[in-house]
Amino acid sequence: MNGAPIQFDAQLQNNGTIQSTGTVIVRGGTYSAGTFNVTHLTIGLSPSLLNTLSEGAVLSGADADLVAIVPNGQLTIDGAVSVDTVMTQGDNTHLGGDGGTLAVRNNYIWADGTWNGQGLVHVMANARLEISNPSEHAIINGWSLKNEGTVIWGDSAGDITVGGALGGVAIENSGVFEIWAGNTIRFNNTGEVPSFVNNPTGFLKIDSEQFGVTIEMPFVNYGRVDLHWGHLVAPYGYTQWGGQTDLKGNGLSGPFLDFYEGALNGPGNVFGMLRNLGATINVGGTGPLTGLLRVDGTFVQSSGTIVFRIADNDPATNNYDRLIVTGNGTFGGTVRITLTGGANPAGSVYSIIRCAARSGVFDIEDIPATFFLRPLINGFDAEAL
């Protein structure tokens, strides 16, 4: 077909390939196990007519810039379907067949609507799923999300509700997952709540300005979590088995925040019970500036390392890393103190840790030879001799 618009007013059954350099409009519904290789595809004009993409269907086009599902249209994913082009979903109900897989290989813009049924939304490497729902909740009923490319949760998007899980995981991120909105990701099905897993290659970036992002499912991190701008709330807990979490002056909340491996980098605020069970806590971060890590709750370090830097000879400047815990603190593992910025203090006392009540002491003190670590009933002082 040439570049002229092609319109199908009757139902279209496509088991082969429809190729056009122009626009293809399907008004009478479609059932396709074949390929649409087009520049523009518009389907689902009538809510009373179903459109089904079954096993093997492909939406593609070398020069395509839009595959649009128009308002009130319906589309069923009933099998393994690939989106190899840019696809914009409008104000429609997107019905997923049981066990279907929507494989996004290029770009899928989800503007509104609901995905029902059961299956997997798989964002492939180098692909992009953009969620830009301005008003209503975006719902994936019975579906789980696996990302190996890029997922952008836009700054005007609403909440996301996920209803499916594979192997106890509702969302698995091995690519880039950026959240620009201050909203909630939740699970709406019965039974045990599955996890949001950030794999070793995964990068979760919170960039929601002054708003918080809530993930209402257990969060497990093996990769990198960057609280670039905004607060992350994990009401089902936050567990890190590797990688790093960068607070960057922002907040992390949860009933428990367990760090077994990798690093937690301040400065910032932690709300809940922070437990270091083998990781490294860089209290003021790893950059050139020192900082404060505040825990509104309790702190436990049974193993692992907590690191403080002192960058000034005068403690009154507060140019050193500090840990403040509003509740009780229990200490073990390793403490490391380093001198930076030419600091060479003598006779100075640095209040590096303060808590409501202290129990325990560090097993290993990796501190300068000219320092003495003094335990107090409410923390520790580092004294330069």
Find tokens 């000219």 and name the residue.
370
151-160, 191-200, 277-286 — which one is most confidently predicted on average? 277-286
Cα–Cα distance measured from residue 168 to residue 190, given in angstroms and rounded to the nearest whole number: 13
Query: Where is pLDDT greater, at 134 or 30?
Result: 30
Query: Between residues 267 and 132, which one has the greater pLDDT?
Result: 267
Place of tokens 């403690």: 315
Q: Provide the 8-state DSSP code for 317.
A: G
Residues in the chain: 385
What is the model's pLDDT at position 17?
Answer: 83
Left, alpha or beta for 318 (phi > 0: left; psi -120 to 50: alpha)? Answer: left
Query: Which residues lie below 8 Å from residue 371, measured CB to CB, with a gap of 6+?
Result: 337, 382, 383, 384, 385
Say how far apart CA 339 and CA 368 lie, in whole Å. Answer: 8
d(CA 339, CA 230): 31
Per-residue pLDDT, 137: 47
Q: What is the pTM of this model?
A: 0.85
* Residue 129 pLDDT > 60: yes
Q: Quick one: which of 381, 332, 331, 324 has its CA closest to 356? A: 324
**For residue 317, which phi and psi values (nearest 5 degrees)?**
-80, -10
Q: How many CA atoms lie within 13 A of 131 on its CB side?
A: 28
Q: What angle do CA 126, 219, 161 make, to 5 degrees?
A: 70
Is residue 191 within 8 Å of 213, Cβ to Cβ?
no
Judged against a pLDDT cut of 80, whether residue 296 lies above it is answered with yes
Q: Is the pLDDT of residue 86 over 70?
A: no
Does the pLDDT at position 195 exceed 90?
A: yes
Average pLDDT, the chain: 83
Q: Are strands 379-384 and 349-354 parallel, antiparallel or unpaired?
A: antiparallel
Residue 126 DSSP symbol: T
Residue 135 confidence (pLDDT): 47
Of 143-152, 218-227, 239-248, 354-363, the least confident = 143-152
CA distance 111 to 96: 17
**What backbone phi and psi angles, to 5 degrees, belong to 316?**
-65, -20
Angstrom distance (rounded) from CA 192 to CA 202: 24
Pairing of strands 169-173, 195-198: parallel
Highest mean pLDDT among 140-154, 197-211, 364-378: 364-378
- The fraction of the chain above a pLDDT of 70, given in percent, is 77
CB-count burial class (<10 Å; 0-12, 13-18, 19+) for 210: exposed
Residue 269: count other Cβ atoms within 10 Å of its Cβ.
18
> Quick one: average pLDDT of 21-40?
74
Mean predicted confidence (pLDDT) in 316-325: 94
